[in-house]
Amino acid sequence: MLLRRLWDHDLAWSFRRSPVTVVAALLTLVCVGGAALAPWLAPQDPFNMAGLDLNNAFLPPAWSESGRAAFFLGTDNQGRDILSTIMHGARVSLVVGLASVLLAMFLGVSLGLISGYFGGRIDAFIMRVADIQLSFPAILIALLIDGVTRIALSAEAHDATAIAVLVVSIGLSKWVDYARTVRGSTLVEKNREYVQAARVIGRRPLAILLSHVLPNVMGPVLVIATINIGIAIITEATLSFLGVGVPATTPSLGTLIRVGNEFLYSGEWWITVFPGAALVVLVLSVNLLGDWLRDALNPKLR
Amino acid sequence: MRKLLFAVLALCSLAANAVNLRWAAQNDILTLDPHSQNHATTHSILQYTYEGLTRYTKDYKIEPALATSWKQLSDTVWRFELRKGVKFHDGSPFTADDVVFSFGRIKQPQGTNQVYVTGVNEVKKIDDYTVEFVLAGPTPILLRNIVDFRIMSRGWAEKNRSQNVQDYAKKEEIFASRNTNGTGPYIIKSWEPDKQIVLTVNKGWWGKLDGNVTDVVYTPIKSDQTRMSALLSGDVDLVTDVPTQDVDRLRKDGKLKVLDGHEVRTIFIGMDQNRDELQYSNVKGKNPFKDVRVRKAMNMAVDREAIRRVTMRGLSIPAGIMIAPGVHGYSKQIDIVQKYDPAGAKKLLAEAGYPDGFEFTLDCPNNRYVNDEKICQALVAMWAKAGIRARLNSMPFANFIPKILKFDTSAYMLGWGVATFDGLYTLQSLVRTKTTGADGSFNLGRISNPKLDNTIDAIKIATDPKARDALLKEGLETTRDEAYYVPLHHQMRPWVMKKGVSISYSPDDRPQARFATVK
């Protein structure tokens, strides 16, 4: 019954009609699945030191002359299997991407609701902070937060908290998108009759916001969130590529690309090219999904 | 940066017969004060401007510089005749007063260059062009020690309130840390930190250039890729910090030339052999590294040949002893490299009471030695096969050094270069029981063997070369057989330059522009 209803839903129908979206969804599924199940699916555990052999280092991909079948995409400078490091790396990238989007969404939606519903000075204050925030590029804010924590924490503590720091810095640089959208929708919704009615019967503002306004402003938020996942993954990769992201001991895709970059000139292209390709595929397919969701949910395009 | 280089180039080409040497390496200098920081890059630039009483020839023999001759009046008194007619860059004459002044200055505790006047109690002025060094005891390698004891003008320092050495640790800036006034072949025209240093030839220099370089531009470029791109695109003529993985490709480039050489630096792993309970470990109540069998097992589990072939791309010499070829005391006969034998290592560990191995933390710098962090990663994997589980803790050298100097480590990677080209420097710093001063100054595992201490102390004062060599050999062999350290390899540091550049290789990794010719 439920399946039937899902299949007949508007969204499902527009999904089936767009082959690009279906492919993107499948690719996303492969990436997320491969990353989530990396400890079970990956051919080698790249973090088990006893399993690494320096004599296997710098092997090219399996299809080239001196490649070996056991290392499908080749090996890096320590004899790690590239395919396995990509699967483990994508885990870190996805965790950072999802967590930072959730954080940004939580902050942005809360502030947007408060701003739109209460108006006045609170609104002015929150929106001016948002304006200031918008004048800084996201990556600069992320670098700033990372720099401050690097000085405040010791090197070991910084490595241990690297992922949390990344989540916070990307999350903090992205909340404005949500806050502005939600504020706009809230301004419209708060004058609707159902809200007025709720006020008249004496519901408290928090209850009104959460149970009446919020469900009606979430549509655009989901679209922004999907598109922002791609951006967050790229920001994480950029920061890690610059060396301020996650350390080499728990590599993300960005870290893998940075490490492999050293070997580009000496001819071991596969160490950097494959993590790079994985990043492109992951971000592209997530973005295509986001685009589709935006179009499907936009009443003007229906 | 590029624009600036071009601007400098354009300016230089206006001068008649200007010949540029544009040199890039990884690090910037720390200061222009020659007595403040014992730091390789800083020395390699300041030696262009400030000179000592002695200097090295191309093949690292001692020759006269600001002193013209010397005589040993007794075991502990050396008399130096100073060169007459030498002028500092500001035109003031060089005299004995400047030597006495510089000695007092380099001894000040806020500097880190006292090691170059080790064993010198006093420098006495006899007349304007004669000084006497009064020593604490016989010091056979005095002439090599004082190469990096560089002379500053007393009058200039007093005029500019720079009598005291810059306190670098306290971030102090003085006139002499931003300006120079030496006697050397090149004058530092400008230093823009992290950007470039411009030097120009000193026309009034007392010596004769062995090349044709009139202007030197030194550019520190942190990133390996950027540095190599600068060379490939022709923005620089000479690069001294070359990533090992690129060397093969560079050799095949028709426009470039690779000058091979090995640095007099040995890379090794040190272990805490003092604490009764090893820190950062799962072993409770004892310290496995106090057992020679465990230390031997650590040595046997290292596949030095694989590190040489894969990580270093052939650019290292696997090591069995703690000094490199080219250092006095080295010989192939005693540099016996431990064979790779993981099974043997396991057996030794079991004998020592660790059949299941043990855990510890390996502290490793990640921006100091060639491929330092990558070597540590490889070591962790190799030891794991023998059951020794090391956790890698890598960090920038600036964080690493203060940590291990506090002995806050269970095992660490370090490299030891030999500025004096004599094995005593290594034995005294790394193996001699730590006291004050130079004895055991970097003995960070706190190794202590009274018999070996006696040998090292005897080397310090031995005057008969044969007897001294025998003692050196004994000290190095004991260190090897007791496995006090895990020597890994002697570093090789090729320089890459344009075809038209010729320069002689320096095992201390300091290119000398006065030996360079650029076509």
A112-128 per-position pLDDT tens digit = 999 999 989 999 999 99
What pLDDT shows up at residue B16? 52
- Which one, of B452, B449, B447, lies nearest residue B485 by Cα? B447
Task: Verify whether the Cβ–Cβ distance B382 to A54 is below 8 Å.
Answer: yes
Q: Does the beta carbon of A262 lie under 8 angstroms from any beta carbon of chain B?
A: yes
ipTM above 0.90, yes or no: no
Q: Which of A85-94, A154-163, B30-39, B251-260 has the lowest mean pLDDT?
A: A154-163
Smallest CA–CA distance from A50 into chain B, residue: B384
B264-304 per-position pLDDT tens digit = 999 999 999 999 999 999 999 999 999 999 999 999 999 99
Which residues, in sequence order, are bridge partners of residue B199?
B188, B216
What pLDDT shows up at residue A125? 95
Cα B249 to Cα A122: distance, rounded to the nearest angstrom: 63
What pLDDT shows up at residue B204? 93
**Residue indicated by tokens 């989007």:** A101
Q: Does the beta carbon of A244 lie under 8 angstroms from any beta carbon of chain B?
A: no
CB A299 within 8 A of CB A223: no
pLDDT over 70 at B464, yes or no: yes
What pLDDT shows up at residue B4? 55
CA distance B291 to chain A (A): 24
Q: Does the beta carbon of A200 lie under 8 angstroms from any beta carbon of chain B?
A: no
What pLDDT shows up at residue B14? 47
What integer is the mean pLDDT of B406-412? 94
Interface test with B, best of A85, A153, A265 (most B CBs within 10 A): A265
Q: Which is it for strands B485-492 and B262-271: parallel, antiparallel or unpaired?
A: antiparallel
What pLDDT shows up at residue A156? 66
B127-176 per-position pLDDT tens digit = 999 999 999 888 888 998 899 999 999 999 999 999 999 998 888 999 99
Task: Verify whether the Cβ–Cβ distance A265 to B307 is below 8 Å.
Answer: no
pTM of the entire structure?
0.81
Smallest CA–CA distance from A47 into chain B, residue: B381
- Which one, of A114, A170, A117, A109, lies nearest residue A142 by Cα? A170
The pLDDT confidence band at residue B7, using thresholds 50, 70 and 90, is low
Cα B469 to Cα A239: distance, rounded to the nearest angstrom: 55
B196-248 per-position pLDDT tens digit = 999 999 999 999 999 999 999 999 998 888 999 999 999 999 999 999 989 98
| Interface contacts (A, B; CB < 8 Å) | 57
- Which H, E and C letters describe B228-249, residue by residue? HHHHHCCCCCEECCCCHHHHHH
The encoded tokens of residue B419 equal 């500025």
What pLDDT shows up at residue A4? 82
The encoded tokens of residue B18 equal 């200007």
Residues of chain B with C-beta less than 8 angstroms from the C-beta of A243? none
What pLDDT shows up at residue B371? 92
Residues of chain B with C-beta less than 8 angstroms from the C-beta of A261? 225
- pLDDT over 70 for what percent of chain B? 97
Nearest CB to A49 within list B303, B381, B393: B381
- DSSP for B291-328 reads SHHHHHHHHHT--HHHIIIIISTT-EEE-SSSS-TTSB
pLDDT over 70 at B13, yes or no: no
**Residue indicated by tokens 């540091």:** B493
Which residues, in sequence order, are bridge partners of residue A81?
A75
What pLDDT shows up at residue B310? 93
What pLDDT shows up at residue A6? 78
Interface test with B, best of A48, A150, A266, A268 (most B CBs within 10 A): A266
- pLDDT over 90 for what percent of chain B? 77
Summary mean pLDDT of chain B: 92
Task: Verify whether the Cβ–Cβ distance B310 to A53 is below 8 Å.
Answer: no
Task: Verify whether the Cβ–Cβ distance B225 to A262 is below 8 Å.
Answer: yes
pLDDT over 80 at B43, yes or no: yes
Positions of chain A with pLDDT under 70: 155-156, 299-302
